């Protein structure tokens, strides 16, 4: 008898999780507050409020497990569903990832270095922190920030009122600027039996707080840095009793890696795995949360992923490069919105660079 997986959230990550589940013969049912959520194009969609327990119970009926595709699912909804079906990753991971301070405290408790920061709960806290150590710094709301939202640059006490207003006058972290060489991420997957596998490190380029380009495996990473990233990911999933895929993002500095944040779900920087790994992050997440054996995380050649932001360019239809795949989420165009991505796969790093150069010239 086939299994059924419930997914909280029906955006593009839910869409790709559903596709991966289908290839494994697993039924999916998604829950979202929006009737036009893009995963509903191909998979069963239940629409309801996050606090509608009757609707949530109907959604969970017959599910062998429930997971989520974004970290801002209300913890109360996950805790309610836990009484009806296994919720993986568990609500503890959700609670930690929803609060930047809890996240940093988890890293510190595991001996994982992070950027220097101050926790601020008021304008007075912010002004005092800036007086002790003037900026530049980045003020980040502790909750509900993603893709550059809920953040403000600040460099002096004179900037403090503007920055405090920009983050909604909410409890925040004041992150000191880091002199880093690049941003990298590691994706790890953990099974219910405690088996942990890591994907190769990914080199990421952000602009405007949004991921624009990922390349994997990341080049020029020392064995010490690679080990540190994989060890950090493994320590986090073990500490949380985590089941599924988790991403940890780092700054690479001359002194080593600094953990910036984590995502308790499949991650944008892992989209390359659909065509570029033996088992995609989406398939391995489904496998993990349903208690199946994990697949290999080995890369297939060298890969890149280009996010399509705002709209899918008409020029993507003219792409005829071998090893190039366009994923259109069929979302309505909107400035700053992730509406699709392109993955590229080549045999060598030089071949990948050449294809990447040609593709970016075509799509602009």
- Per-residue pLDDT reduced to its tens digit, 333-349: 999 899 999 999 999 99
Residue 6 CB contacts under 8 Å (≥ 6 apart), including other chains: 28, 29, 30, 31, 59, 60, 63, 65, 66, 67, 81, 85
CATH 3.40.50.20: which residues of the chain?
A: 4-87
Angstrom CA distances, 142 to 98, 151, 159, 247, stand at 8, 10, 19, 18
Every domain of the chain with CATH number 3.30.1490.20 lies at 116-176
According to DSSP, the β-strands at 4-8 and 65-68 are parallel
As its CATH architecture, domain 182-363 has: 2-Layer Sandwich (3.30)
pLDDT at 208 (0 to 100): 83
Higher per-residue confidence, 317 vs 70:
70
b/e string for 327-339 if b means 16 or more Cβ within 10 A? Answer: bebebeeeeeebb
Backbone angles phi, psi at 209, to 5 degrees: 80, 5
Q: Check residue 181 and give its pLDDT.
A: 94
State the span(s) of the chain assigned CATH 3.30.470.20.
Answer: 182-363
pLDDT tens per residue across span 186-231: 999 999 999 999 999 999 999 988 999 999 999 999 999 999 999 9
pLDDT above 70 (res 355): yes
- Lowest-confidence segment of 21-35, 138-152, 308-322, 330-344 by average pLDDT: 138-152
Region of poorest pLDDT, from 42-56, 93-107, 131-145, 166-180: 131-145
What value does the mean pLDDT take over residues 60-70? Answer: 97
Which fold would CATH assign to domain 4-87?
Rossmann fold (3.40.50)
Strands of the sheet with 151-154, listed across from one edge: 117-120, 172-176, 137-141, 151-154
pLDDT at 148 over 60: no
- State the first-to-last Cα distance of the chain, in angstroms, to the nearest integer: 48
Mean local confidence (pLDDT), 263-289: 97
- CB 132: neighbour CB atoms within 10 A? 8
Nearest to 87 by CA among 281, 236, 290: 290
Cβ burial of 41 (10 Å; 0-12, 13-18, 19+) is middle
**Span 308-335, pLDDT tens digits:** 999 999 888 888 888 999 999 999 999 9
Q: State the pLDDT confidence band at 145, using cuts at 50, 70 and 90.
A: low
pLDDT band at 156 (very low <50, low <70, confident <90, very high): confident
Q: Are 238 and 196 in contact (CB under 8 A)?
A: yes
Residue 71 in this model has a pLDDT that exceeds 70: yes
- pLDDT tier for residue 146 given thresholds of 50, 70 and 90: low
Q: What is the mean pLDDT of residues 238-259?
A: 96
Q: Is the CATH number of domain 116-176 1.20.1740.10?
A: no
- Is residue 250 over pLDDT 70? yes
pTM of the model: 0.94
Closest listed residue to residue 298, CA positions, set 216, 215, 219, 190: 216
Strands (E), the chain: 4-8, 27-32, 44-47, 65-68, 117-120, 137-141, 151-154, 172-176, 182-190, 196-198, 202-207, 210-216, 244-253, 256-263, 302-309, 324-328, 338-346
Residues 6+ apart with CB under 8 A from 101: 119, 142, 171, 173
Sign of CA dihedral 211, 216, 220, 223: positive
Q: What is the pLDDT of residue 209?
A: 82
Residue-level pLDDT at 317: 82
Mean pLDDT of the chain: 94
Percent of the chain with pLDDT over 70: 98
* For residues 89-98, average pLDDT: 95
């Amino acid at each position: 008898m086939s299994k059924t997986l419930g997914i909280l959230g029906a955006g593009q990550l839910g869409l790709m999780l559903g596709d991966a589940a289908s290839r494994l013969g697993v039924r999916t049912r998604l829950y979202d507050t929006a009737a036009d959520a893009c995963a509903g194009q191909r998979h069963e969609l239940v629409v309801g409020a996050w606090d509608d327990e009757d609707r949530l119970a109907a959604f969970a009926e017959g599910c062998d497990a429930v997971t989520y595709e974004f970290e801002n699912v209300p913890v109360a909804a996950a805790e309610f569903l836990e009484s009806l079906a296994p919720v993986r990753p568990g609500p503890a991971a959700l609670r930690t990832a929803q609060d930047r301070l809890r996240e940093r405290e988890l890293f510190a408790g595991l001996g994982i270095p992070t950027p220097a920061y101050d926790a601020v709960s008021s304008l007075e806290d912010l002004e005092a922190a800036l007086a002790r150590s003037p900026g530049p710094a980045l003020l980040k709301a502790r909750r509900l920030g993603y893709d550059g939202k809920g953040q403000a640059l600040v460099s002096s006490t004179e900037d403090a009122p503007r920055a405090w207003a920009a983050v909604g006058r909410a409890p925040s972290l004041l992150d000191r600027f880091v002199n880093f060489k690049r941003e990298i991420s590691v994706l790890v997957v953990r099974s219910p039996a405690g088996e942990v596998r890591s994907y190769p490190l990914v080199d990421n380029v952000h602009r405007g707080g949004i991921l624009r380009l990922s390349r994997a495996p990341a080049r020029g990473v020392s064995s010490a840095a690679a080990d540190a990233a994989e060890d950090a990911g493994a320590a986090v999933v073990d500490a949380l009793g985590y089941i599924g895929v988790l991403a940890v993002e780092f700054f690479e500095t001359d002194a080593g890696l600094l953990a910036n944040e984590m995502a308790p779900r499949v991650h944008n920087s892992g989209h390359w795995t659909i065509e570029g790994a033996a088992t995609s992050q989406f398939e391995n997440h489904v496998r993990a949360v349903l208690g199946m054996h994990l697949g290999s995380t080995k890369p297939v050649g060298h890969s890149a992923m280009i996010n399509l932001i705002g709209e899918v360019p008409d020029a993507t239809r003219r792409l005829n490069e071998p090893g190039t795949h366009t994923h259109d989420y069929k979302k309505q165009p909107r400035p700053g919105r992730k509406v699709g991505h392109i993955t590229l796969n080549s045999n060598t790093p030089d071949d990948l660079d050449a294809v990447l150069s040609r593709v970016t010239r075509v799509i602009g």
